Amino acid sequence: MIKRAIILAGGKGTRLRPFTKVFPKPMMPIGKYVILEIVIKQLRFYGFKHITITVNNQAKLIKAFFGNGSKFNTHIDYALEKKPLGTMGPLKTIKDLPKNFLVLNGDVLTDLNFHKFHAHHIKNNNLFTISSYKRMELIDYGLLETNKKNSLIKFIEKPKKTYKMSMGVYMLKKDILKYIPKEKHFGFDNLMYKLLKLKKRINVKPHNGYWLDIGRPNDYILATEQFKKMKKKLLHV
């Protein structure tokens, strides 16, 4: 079985401006690599021999850099979005998807073992598996809890809240395509609402390692700083 991965790289990177005025977000440099190059090297390490990159914004630049994947010892092809289709919409444009496949955002840094994640999904015969990350957020203000008469009944000084975050890494069974409309903008959120409404089981697999979504300027600066320490772990060199 050839493991297949779909990398979502068709976004405009508006949250990362002004950095993305010149390069699309997945092509931003981290050390001597670009973000998407790190992701592809990781996938190849974990045995993914066929990678499809969904492209829209500045597609020519991405295609020119990665070509057919031969220099990364893998096969790379492309799915062109003629208009923005969101995170799940582009999957309907890919005609040769296998029974199970990995989908991930092209701007994520993580030390997730993609092979084990792939195997977990197949072993449990899941329709949709989400890799999740636990993040703790510090609220910088004192929180007030009042009753109906606006009298204070509880005070919490700068509380910490813990959330389970979607990492932007998923395993999908091909059957999921029937829930995704054709040639329409359809995001991960749209699909989750739809599956929950239909009472379909969605599996969440916690990841206790490293994860960073490079979505905003501060995240990008943090990624460039952390990559120096994380390079060996991320690239297995």
In a domain, 156, yes or no: no
104 within a domain of the structure (yes/no): yes
Q: Considering the domain boundaries, does residue 173 fall inside one? A: yes
pLDDT at 69: 96
Q: Are 36 and 27 contacting, i.e. CB atoms less than 8 angstroms apart?
A: yes
Predicted TM-score (pTM) of the model is 0.88
> Is 139 a domain residue?
no
> For residue 141, is it within any domain?
no
Task: Say what the pLDDT of residue 200 is.
Answer: 97
**Helical H runs in 169-211?**
188-197
- Whether 113 contacts 177, CB under 8 Å: no
Domain extent, residue 70, equals: 3-132+165-235
Q: Is the residue at 13 inside a domain?
A: yes
Residue 21 pLDDT: 56
Which pLDDT score, from 0 to 100, does residue 162 have?
A: 87
Domain-located, residue 146: no
Tens digits of pLDDT across the chain (237 residues): 799 999 999 765 455 455 545 667 788 899 899 999 999 999 999 999 999 999 986 788 899 999 999 999 999 999 998 888 999 999 999 999 999 999 999 999 999 999 999 999 999 999 999 999 998 888 888 888 999 999 999 988 888 888 899 999 999 999 999 999 998 999 999 999 999 999 999 999 999 999 999 888 888 889 989 998 999 999 987
Q: How many domains does the chain have?
A: 1
What pLDDT sits at residue 11?
A: 62
CATH number of the domain that 90 lies in? Answer: 3.90.550.10
Q: What stretches of the chain show up as alpha helix (H) in DSSP? A: 35-45, 59-66, 114-123, 188-197, 217-235
Domain-embedded: residue 225: yes
Buried/exposed 199-232: b ≥16 CB within 10 Å, e otherwise: eeeeeebebeeebbbbbeeebbeebeeebeebbe
